[in-house]
């Protein structure tokens, strides 16, 4: 069954990286989202890939909600031309509101902050706190090493295969959005659903 996503939270860097392909992918993702009526929720910055995707969505006629801590307004140069910019107290409030406003998540190439945000929403999903799709835009194999490490975690017994399978990854924006829209959370995968099953018994 195909779900109509009305908003996606995109995690990405305050840097554009060394390869032009990263910014190109951010623009392409932004255009795809706008054309499909999917609003962007992101970290509110005007620099790096954050600024690229926000500008792309806006220029294509889409809506953008930025959420940024007050302390980072200068560092990340808060984008002042968004549909809506929310200035919050700290990173905890920022991440909570980003998750609340989004119906799914995409991680683009980025640094430690991007990875931290990605794994937080993956952890919440694994536990059963949400059932929203989570995907990687794997531009030019940027996340190949990470995906291989997750496979290693499965092989070594630190990650369940069914939890590893929850992370969607595609190299092209259009195919990634399509796969996210088709996502259905498998029954009995999350830790909370397993615990509930044990409590109910046979």
Alpha-carbon distance of 155 to 191, in angstroms, equals 20
Q: Is the pTM of this model over 0.85?
A: yes
Residue 200, pLDDT > 60, answer: no
Is 25 inside a domain boundary? Answer: yes
Domain, as residue range, for 18: 7-200
The structural domain count of the chain equals 1
- What CATH number does the domain containing 24 carry? 3.40.50.450
Residue-wise pLDDT for 17-36, tens only, equals 999 999 999 999 999 999 99
Is 181 inside a domain boundary? Answer: yes
Predicted local confidence at residue 198, as pLDDT: 53
Phi, psi of 42, deg, nearest 5:
-155, -175
Predicted local confidence at residue 59, as pLDDT: 98
Is 2 inside a domain boundary? Answer: no
């Amino acid at each position: 069954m195909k779900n109509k996503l009305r908003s996606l939270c995109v995690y990405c860097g305050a840097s554009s990286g060394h390869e032009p392909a990263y910014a190109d992918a951010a623009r392409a993702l932004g255009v795809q989202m706008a054309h499909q009526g999917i609003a962007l929720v992101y970290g509110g910055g005007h620099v790096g890939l954050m600024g690229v995707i926000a500008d792309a969505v806006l220029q294509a006629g889409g809506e953008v909600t930025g959420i940024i801590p007050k302390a980072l307004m200068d560092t990340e140069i808060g984008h002042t031309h968004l549909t809506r910019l929310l200035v919050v107290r700290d990173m905890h409030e920022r991440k909570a509101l980003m998750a609340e406003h989004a119906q799914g998540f995409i991680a683009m190439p980025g640094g430690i902050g991007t990875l931290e945000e990605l794994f937080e929403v993956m952890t919440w999903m694994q536990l059963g706190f949400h059932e929203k799709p989570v995907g990687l835009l794997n531009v030019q194999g940027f996340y190949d090493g990470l995906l291989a490490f997750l496979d290693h975690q499965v092989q070594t017994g630190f990650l369940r295969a069914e939890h590893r399978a929850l992370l969607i990854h595609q190299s092209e924006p259009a195919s990634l959005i399509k796969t996210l829209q088709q996502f259905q959370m498998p029954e009995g995968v999350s830790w909370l659903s397993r615990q509930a099953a044990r409590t109910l018994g046979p």
